[in-house]
Amino acid sequence: MTQKNITDQLRNRFTADLAEFLAAKYDVDVCRTAAGTVMIPTVDSNGDDRWVKFSVIIPKEADEESGNDGYALAQEYQLKLDAAAARKAEKDRKATERAAKRKSGPTAVENENS
């Protein structure tokens, strides 16, 4: 069996499992739109019809050198999330400090200079 056949077989198995899970979990029609791709209908918070697309991708190589190691990618993504959360926390802290300064009004020294 060729590597392409093995990959196609693996993709088909996971796509079928995903379609079965989505159909059971959300009680919706699962539409296969391409090899390894399914879509399901849904309704957003505004009541508008929307579609959610799921793709099953099997990288040719799965190691750190190729950039397709799932564990390394998950760790990298978590680091990005942590850095973004830290930036947001710092921004929120500074905004809170500015708001507190505005709320307290001029200091005693500023009042004497007026």
- Residue 2 sits in the same domain as residue 31: yes
Domain-embedded: residue 110: no
- Residue 37 sits in the same domain as residue 6: yes
The pLDDT value recorded for residue 34 is 95
Domain-embedded: residue 114: no
For 8-53, the pLDDT digits (tens) are 999 999 999 999 999 999 999 999 999 999 999 999 999 999 999 9
Number of structural domains, the chain? 2
- Residue 74 sits in the same domain as residue 97: yes
Walk across the sheet containing 31-34 and list its strands. Answer: 31-34, 37-43, 49-55
Domain-embedded: residue 111: no
Domain range spanning residue 6? 1-58
Provide the whole-model pTM: 0.69
**CB-based contacts of 43: which residues, under 8 Å, 6+ apart?**
49, 50
- Tokens describing residue 14: 């996971």
Domain-embedded: residue 23: yes
